[in-house]
Amino acid sequence: MFEKLILYIFTEHRGKAIGIILGLAASILFISYGFWQTIFIMLMIALGYFIGKKIDDHTDIEAWIKHLFKDKY
């Protein structure tokens, strides 16, 4: 019964469910670690997601990093 409810929620209301979970996680982080530490954690999660997406898309990470940090002169 509980499994069917969870499956229904994640198929019919996926965005709302993910938003609630992320909001809960953010509030726990804010209460536990404070504002700046939570912002740092969220930035590192976003950076990890971005790099992971590049790897999943089979992007050449080394070339991308070299392009990112090349001299602008």
Say if residue 44 is in the same domain as residue 63. yes
Do 44 and 71 share a domain, yes or no?
yes
Higher pLDDT pick, 57 / 73 = 57
Q: For residue range 11-53, what is the model confidence (pLDDT) as tens digits?
A: 888 888 888 888 999 999 999 999 999 999 999 998 888 888 8
DSSP string, the chain: -HHHHHHHHHHHSHHHHHHHHHHHHHHHHHHHH-HHHHHHHHHHHHHHHHHHHHHHTT--HHHHHHHHTS---
**Same-domain pairing of 15 and 39:** no
Nearest to 30 by CA among 41, 22, 38, 20: 38
pTM of the predicted model as reported, rounded to 2 decimal places: 0.62
| pLDDT class of 72 with cuts at 50, 70, 90 | low
Do residues 22 and 5 share a domain?
yes
